[in-house]
Amino acid sequence: MTARILDGKALAAQIEAEAASQAAALTQRYGMSPALAAILVGDDPASALYVRRKAEAFGRAGLRSETFHLSADTPEPEVLALIADLNARADIHGILPQQPMPPQITPRTVFEHVDPAKDVDGLGPINMAALLVGRPRLVPNTPAGIMRLLQHTGVDPTGKEAVVIGRSVIVGRPVAVLLLQANATVTWCHTKTRDLASHTGRADILVVAAGKARLVTGSMIKPGAVVIDVGINRIEGKLVGDVDFPSASAVAGWITPVPGGVGPMTIAMLLKNTVQAAEAQFHAARHV
Q: Interface residues with ligand NAP (CB under 6 A)?
A: 142, 165-168, 170-172, 189-193, 196, 209-212, 215, 230-233, 262-263, 266
CB of 261 to ligand NAP, least distance (A): 7
Residue whose Cβ sits closest to ligand NAP: 168
CB of 71 to ligand NAP, least distance (A): 24
Pairing between strand 226-229 and 233-235?
unpaired
CB of 76 to ligand NAP, least distance (A): 21
121 part of the active site: yes
Q: Which is nearer to ligand NAP, 110 or 165 (CB)?
A: 165
Q: How far is the first Cα of the chain from the last one, in angstroms, to the nearest whole number?
A: 57
Beta bridge partners of 221: none
Separation between Cα atoms, residue 260 and residue 149, nearest integer Å: 12
Q: Which is nearer to ligand NAP, 9 or 137 (CB)?
A: 9
Residue 77 burial by CB count (10 A; 0-12/13-18/19+): exposed, middle or buried? exposed
> Which entry of 22, 98, 276, 281 is annotated as an active-site residue?
98
Separation between Cα atoms, residue 201 and residue 219, nearest integer Å: 8
276 part of the active site: no
3-state secondary structure 44-75: CHHHHHHHHHHHHHHHHCCCEEEEEEECCCCC
54 part of the active site: yes
Pairing between strand 238-240 and 4-5?
unpaired
Q: Which is nearer to ligand NAP, 182 or 239 (CB)?
A: 239
> Which entry of 115, 119, 121, 242 is annotated as an active-site residue?
121
Q: Which is nearer to ligand NAP, 155 or 196 (CB)?
A: 196
As a whole number of angstroms, the longest Cα–Cα distance in the chain is: 58
Q: Which is nearer to ligand NAP, 79 or 210 (CB)?
A: 210
Cα 66 to Cα 37, 139, 190, distances in angstroms: 5, 22, 36
CB of 242 to ligand NAP, least distance (A): 6
CB of 175 to ligand NAP, least distance (A): 9
Taking the CA atoms of residue 168, residue 170, residue 172 and residue 176 in that order, the dihedral angle to the nearest 10 degrees is: 130
Question: Where in the sequence numbering do the catalytic residues fall?
Answer: 54, 98, 121
